[in-house]
Structures are given as C-alpha cells and as structure tokens.
Amino acid sequence: MRLLSRTAVIMTLISAATLLTSLRPKTQKVIFFGDSITAQGARPGGYIERIKQALTQKSMANDYDLIGAGIGGNKVYDLYLRMDDDVMAQNPDIVFIYIGVNDVWHKATSGTGTDIDKFEKFYTAIINKLLDKHIRVILVTPAVIGEKNDFTNQQDGDLNAYSQVIRNLAQKFHCGLVDLREIFHNYELKNNPGNKESGILTQDRVHLNDNGNQLVADKMLEALLAK
Amino acid sequence: MRLLSRTAVIMTLISAATLLTSLRPKTQKVIFFGDSITAQGARPGGYIERIKQALTQKSMANDYDLIGAGIGGNKVYDLYLRMDDDVMAQNPDIVFIYIGVNDVWHKATSGTGTDIDKFEKFYTAIINKLLDKHIRVILVTPAVIGEKNDFTNQQDGDLNAYSQVIRNLAQKFHCGLVDLREIFHNYELKNNPGNKESGILTQDRVHLNDNGNQLVADKMLEALLAK
Amino acid sequence: MRLLSRTAVIMTLISAATLLTSLRPKTQKVIFFGDSITAQGARPGGYIERIKQALTQKSMANDYDLIGAGIGGNKVYDLYLRMDDDVMAQNPDIVFIYIGVNDVWHKATSGTGTDIDKFEKFYTAIINKLLDKHIRVILVTPAVIGEKNDFTNQQDGDLNAYSQVIRNLAQKFHCGLVDLREIFHNYELKNNPGNKESGILTQDRVHLNDNGNQLVADKMLEALLAK
Amino acid sequence: MRLLSRTAVIMTLISAATLLTSLRPKTQKVIFFGDSITAQGARPGGYIERIKQALTQKSMANDYDLIGAGIGGNKVYDLYLRMDDDVMAQNPDIVFIYIGVNDVWHKATSGTGTDIDKFEKFYTAIINKLLDKHIRVILVTPAVIGEKNDFTNQQDGDLNAYSQVIRNLAQKFHCGLVDLREIFHNYELKNNPGNKESGILTQDRVHLNDNGNQLVADKMLEALLAK
C-alpha cells in the first residue's frame, strides 16, 4: 500500500504539472528577419533587447523567444534566398519582416538596388512561404534614409513608394503591420524642428540610436501583443 | 517764312515722334534658358509661344522679344558652359533659368546626375555672371518627374531638395522666382484625384502637355510682368 | 495450351516493343533558362530554333526536346525565384543557364544591377538545386553589351568579371560551359575591324542579329552533343 | 667727362645684368590641375614633390616652379568652373590636366559621373582656354580604378574609353600626353602576377602609394622636359 500510494502521489504530481503546463501558454518563437538595422537590434541596447526587457517587466519573458536574424546589406531577395536556413528551419510562430532600406538605398550608392516590381514579387514569395506554414507574419515599412521631415531626403520618394507596396501587401494577406515609415515621419514632424539629417532617431541617417531603438521596440511590442 | 514754317513743322513732327518713341518702352529681350522642356516650349503650343499670344492679347507684343534657348538633356553645368554663346552674346534684358530635372533624373537613368552641392555652385556662377551685366534674372524650380501627388515618385526627395536650393538662391540674390515645383504640387493635389503618374500636366511624367504648357505660361507671364 | 501460347505471343510482342524502345534513345528535355536574349532565341530565326534545325539535319530531331524559358529583364535572382515553376516542374534532363547581362547593365540604366558576390550566391543556389535532381547543367557567359573589341565598352570590366565568376562555377561544379564572352571577343577581333558598337553579332549592342543567333546556336549545339 | 664715364659704367653694368638674365632661362610656372590624386601629389612623398626632388638633383630646381592645384572629388566640369581662379589667374607657362577618375567612378558610387560626350566637351573647352593664352598643355589619362590587369575591374571599359577621348584630344590639339592608363596597365602586367586589386601602385585601388607616386613623377618629368 505504501508503494501504491507512492505511485498515486507521483501520478497526481504529474497530472498537476501537466495541467500547469497546459495553462501556461506555450513559448512563442519570434524571428526578426531583416538587414543591418535588425542585426544591430539584437545587440545590447538594440530594439530586440529592449522588447525582451519590456516583456520581462510585464512578467511575460517566458511567453516569447525573440530571435534576431538580421544581416547587413540584405535586400528582399537576400531574405528569400536564406529564409529556408534562417527562418523555416527554426519553426517560428511569428516572423517580423523588416526590409527595404537597402533595396532603395543601393540604387544610389552602388547601382544595385531593387526595382519596385521585383521588390513586390520577392516580398510576396516570402509571405506566401510563411503563411503556408501558418506562421503569423508582421510586416514593417522601412523607416528613413535621412531624417529631414519635409520630404527633401534623396530617397524619400522611393521610401514612400516601397512602403506603400508593403502596406498593400499587409492588407492583401491580412498580416500585421508596423508602419515605421509613418511613425518616424510623425515623430520627426514633432521632434525635429531643426530639420536635421540625423541624430533624432538615427546615428547616421539610417541606423537607429537609443531613441530610435526604443521607438521601434515600443511599436513592435504593441504589434506583437495586438491580437 | 514758308521755309521756316516747313522746317518748324518737320521739327515738330520729329519731336513728336521722339516723344512717342520714348513713351513706348524699349523692347525687352527675354531668354528662356533651359533643357528639353524649354526646347519644346519654343514650339507651336509650347509655353513660350503661349506667353507670346498672351502678350499679343494684352497689346504688349512689342514690349518683349521672347527667345527660347533650351537644349535637350541639359543640366546646370551645360548651361554654364554655353551661356557665353547662347545668352551673353545676345545681350538679354531678362533671363529665365529653368533647369534641374536632368540633374536629378540622370542619377537614376545613366549615373550622370549632378551632386546637390555642385548644382548650387554652378547655379550660383550662372546667376553671378548675369547679375554682373545687370540682367534681370528669374529662377524656375523643376516641376515634376512623375505626377503622383503623395511624394511617391522616385525622384520626389531630390526634386524637393534641389528646388529648395533654387528658392534659397532666389532669396539670396533677390531674383524673381517661378516656383513650378510648388505650383505643380498644388495643382496635382486638386486635379489628380487618381494619383496618376502622367497625363495631368505632362505627357510622359516630365514633358509638358497642353495643360502643363498653359500653366507654365501663365505663371511665367505673371513673373515677367511683376515689377 | 491455346491460352498459354496466346500469352506467350503477347509476351514476346511486349518484349520486342520494349527492346525497340530501349534501343531508341529517350528524348532529352533541354531547357534554355535566361533573359530576353533567350526569349528572342525561341522565336523564328532565334538560336534555339537554329539548334532545332541543325538537329533535324543530323536526323537527331527526336533526341532532344528544346524549350525556351527566357523572360526579358531577368537577372540571376529572377531565375532563382521562378525556377521551381519554370524549370523543375518540367523535369528537364539538361538546363542551359544563360544569364548576367542585366545583372551588369541595370547598374547603369536603372541602378538595379546585382552585386558580384550576390550574383555568385544566387547562381550557386540555382546550380545546386539542378544538380540535386541530377540534371545536366551547362553554363553560358554573358556575351556583350557593346561590340567594340578593345575593351572600351562601358560594361566590359564587369562583364569580364562576372564571366570569370561563371567560369569558376563551371569548374567547381563540373558543369558544361559555353563561354560566349570569349567566343564573341575572338569573333569581334577578327570580324569587327571598324570597332563598331553593334551590327556584327547584335542588332543593338545586346540582342543577337542573325549572325549572332547562328554563332550561339553552333556553340550551344557543340556543348549539347559534347558528352 | 667724369659724369659721362659714370653713366657709361652704369649702362655697361645694366647691359651685363640684362645679358645674364637673358642667359638664365626664365623660371617656368607649372600647374598640376586635377583631383584628389593631385591634391595628395603635392604632399610630402607625393608625385609633385618627387618631381621637385628630381629637378633639384638635375640642378634644374630654379627652372620650374611647380604648383599643385588638385581638389578632391573634382571632375572635368569642376576644373572648368574653377580654372579662371586657380589656373589663369596665376599666369602659368605649362599646365598638366590630370582628370577623369571621378567622371567615371561617381557613376557607380553616387550616380553623378559625367557622360562621355560632356566629358569631351568640357575637356575641349579647358584646352581651348589654355591654348588661347599660349600656355603649354600636357594631358594625362586616368590611371586605374582597381589594379587587376585583365580588364576585370568594374570601370575598366569606361576608363579605356575616356582615356581614348583624351588621347584623341592630345593629338587634335598637339598637346603633350602622359598616358598613365597605358603606362599603369603595362606595369601591372609585369608586376602584378597575383592580379591584386590594390597595393601595387595604389593604396586603395585609386590613390597612389609610394611606387605609384614615383612612377607618375618619372613619367611627368619626362613629358615636362621633352621639348
């Protein structure tokens, strides 16, 4: 009887543990898929680290496993080429796609940007592959190349156009959207009265400073929890 | 006495003629100095021809001699190179400088645009040469490369920036200004609800259609007579 | 016994048919995978049609099924994006990869060329996918952008460099190679004494004229039969 | 008579002085007109300083006054814009024009290179202005952007083409020529067996290292003294 009761106790404990486990939501794997802005976002002080801290403060640290998958210089077709290895192989639950700056910027700096129709094609192919696996997809528009707030930055026309492509894709595929292009523009209108090129949300016109990383973290967290 | 009176009559007539001549203002030579938009502006239906017609209707046809000096593909430094031959040699009273589209556009189409600091340098050199000869100078901002009205045309950022350079130069050198960039933008906001790329004021995103030529003619005439 | 003998006859007939079928070589499906040069190559007078004619003359028309899969404006990453649909789905035996002109050319004409390291990466990915399915792969270097034979065509440096990448890949992966870059250069040295930009092997510096299509057909056929 | 003889003595002395002055050749003012390569050429170890040292060794230091007039980032039209201030105002006897690298290079790095027909036009205008003042003009072809010796550097095609324009202008206007493009190519064929991108004659594919400065100094001195 001692033995039986021991077994019973163990069984009861297992049941309780199982119950607790099932009550606690499964940890969701979140991949941030992008370029150098995301590569830097995974470093201390970066936006991904700031999202982790915010989740810890909300006692939600175990709910999400945040993984940075940013590589410097990446354009949309680079994401497509490496998505099997760097995204699908990890079986994520949620993927943020944060791409577009280099697709626009490299037109001027090395003649190797991406035509807007090709940008849409590759972006669509990435979304389709993710949705096929029932992965939740959140799109992010490219924020800025230059922080002047009156549309006098060289790439403003293209950034507006490529962001519009992304907004349309988010709507078409019912994906989440973090519209950094609009968020940054509104922020600059309020907080960049001197119409500076950098130093408000970026260090160098493109890569985020502390303020920029915090703003991106806030907005991405909002999108992550919005469901 | 007959002789005297005859002489007197002749003298009186001459005086009257002289008086009339001095009352009629001297014909002012006006040169439109620019690129293909101005080359087309000198053709039938072009903006220069339309200004002539408007002057004729106002019985001012003899007040101004309008001369087109536009050459396709020209950028600001091309104007500088040919200004001795094509402008100074004609001793104009007034010069419209209408340049900038190719300085921006050729960055994307052949890698041979003009850096914004060089644009300002050559533009300044042209203004200085004209003002040295006490020629009245009227600057014109580049209107559009693409007619979409939400700043999603590829070159919108640069066109806004280069136009700002021109506005600043107009102020600095106390020149006249026809701010086509702003005029066209406001027109597109009102008259391009479908956000089309062309067909509102241009045939092909850049070169003026009838509406465009008329709008430019109206605004240039206004600037010409504003004094 | 009648039944048995009937079966025997049928069996014998089937054996004979099988034998005949095995004696006649299986028709090999050959895909020409490329850009506008290949799209034009599939039209009457194009290089693919000329290969068909040559095979017919050799009584080999049934040995090969030649399929054009060229799309205008394609670069290496476009081939990668569409290779599942346009190549793998057809189960080819042999694939010619003829790409590279736009990867180089679009740098100058629209700022949307392909960096050389990305070119190699995508090219490698395409080869790997084909070799995985035991498809015979034959690489083709980009011939010309401009026919001047003294390396004064604007893109000569890049075409030489990208062709070298392809030659190295052919060696590394033991693929066939049709080195059009070298073949055309040698042809121009002999047959373009006036150092013309076009009209020798191309219509317009890039797309093949009759001579060009014939030269490409001859060399591709040679590579196809070389085994 | 004393007075007369005193005058006679003075006259004689003046005559002697004049004679001596006329025997010693007048110091020739030489301007090196160019871009950053020439700006660096005027620094210690630079090619202009090396020419000075060579002249000193030949006891010809007083025969030539060498002046560097190089500004970083300059293209042919920048030389034209500043030639009145930086060249003509100094009344030089000899001018070396060493330009072209940025005209080609900036196509790829910022979309602001110079079309080859415009390059020729501005170059011609510079030559004409100098020859009008009977200044001896020596043209210099742009050496390298990348030191690989098999014409696989990205800009090789353009550098060859722009150099050909300069060679033709030298012939047309009977100017001197230092054909660095050819000189460097021959040097690389012999001394760059590893086909390296830099480190043979340049530090960074474009700007001269010690070897490069010495080679340029040797060839420019040769051209300077060749008369």
Task: Show residues of chain A in contact with B161, CB under 8 Å.
Answer: 152-154
Fold of the domain built from segment(s) A26-225? Rossmann fold (3.40.50)
Sorting pLDDT into bands at 50, 70 and 90, what band is D227?
Answer: confident
Tokens of C177: 């190679």
| Cα gap D177→D29, rounded to integer Å | 18
Cβ atoms of C115 and C158 within 8 Å: the answer is no
Nearest C-alpha in D relative to B122: D81
Rounded CA-CA distance B168/B120 in Å is 10
Q: Give the pLDDT score at A1.
A: 46
CA distances from B223 to A198, A216, B136, B138 (A): 37, 47, 11, 8
Condensed to tens digits (0 to 9), the pLDDT of residues C85-122 reads 999 999 999 999 999 999 999 999 999 999 999 999 99
Structure tokens at C44: 């009457």
When pLDDT is averaged across residues B37-62 and rounded to a whole number, the result is: 97
Mean pLDDT of the A48-69 span: 97
Rounded to an integer, the average pLDDT of A102-131 is 98
Please give the residue of chain C at the shortest CA–CA distance from A102: C112
Identify the weakest region by mean pLDDT among B22-36, B184-198, C209-223, D84-98. B22-36
- B95 and B138 Cβ atoms separated by less than 8 Å: yes
**Site of tokens 């590893």:** D194
Question: How far does CA A124 lie from the centroid of its chain?
Answer: 17
- Give residue limits of the domains in chain B: 26-225
How far CA C65 is from CA of C60, C127, D54, in Å, comes to 10, 21, 72
Q: What is the interface pTM, i.e. ipTM, of the complex?
A: 0.89
The DSSP call for residue D208 is B
CA distance A94 to B179: 49
The two tokens of residue C61 are: 């028309």
Q: Which residues in chain C have Cβ-Cβ distances shorter than 8 Å to D107? A: 108
In the sheet with D94-98, reading across from the earlier edge strand, the strands are D64-70, D28-34, D94-98, D136-140, D176-178
**Looking at the predicted structure, is the pLDDT value of residue B173 above 70?**
yes
> To which H or E segment does residue B66 belong?
strand B64-70
Cα dihedral angle (A45, A51, A56, A58), rounded to 10 degrees?
A: 140
Computed on alpha carbons and rounded to an integer, the radius of gyration of chain B in Å comes to: 21
Q: Is B151 on the interface with A (CB under 8 A)?
A: yes
Tokens representing A66 are 């945040």
Please name the member of C78, C108, C111 whose beta carbon is closest to the beta carbon of A113.
C111
State CA D136 to chain mean position distance.
11
**D152 vs A18, more confident:** D152
Cβ atoms of A142 and A159 within 8 Å: the answer is yes
A161-220 pLDDT per residue, tens: 999 999 999 999 999 999 999 999 999 999 999 999 999 999 999 999 999 999 999 999
- Residues in chain C within 8 Å Cβ distance of D158: 154, 157
**Structure confidence at residue B227 as a pLDDT band (50, 70, 90):** confident
CA B66 to CA A100: how far, in whole Å? 48
Q: Which two tokens stand for residue A77?
A: 């077709």
Q: What percent of chain A has pLDDT over 70?
A: 89
Percent of chain D predicted with pLDDT > 90: 88
Per-residue pLDDT band at C1 (split at 50, 70, 90): very low
Task: State mean pLDDT over D97-118.
Answer: 98
| Closest C-alpha to C102, from A112, B180, B209 | A112
Rounded Cα gap, residues D188 and C87, in angstroms:
44
Mean pLDDT of chain D: 94
Distance from CA of C66 to the nearest CA of A (A): 28
Backbone φ/ψ region at A73: left (φ over 0), alpha (ψ -120 to 50), beta = left
pLDDT at residue A24 in the model? 61
Taking the C-alpha atoms of residue D186 and residue B42, their distance in angstroms, rounded to an integer, is 53
- CA-to-CA distance for D152 and A31, rounded, in angstroms? 40
Q: Is the pLDDT of residue B100 over 90?
A: yes
pLDDT tens string C181-216: 999 999 999 999 999 999 999 999 999 999 999 999
Say if D110 is an interface residue toward chain B (CB within 8 Å).
yes
Query: In the predicted model, is pLDDT for residue B86 greater than 90?
Result: yes
Chain D CB contacts of A108 under 8 Å are 110-111
Q: Span D11-24, mean pLDDT? A: 63
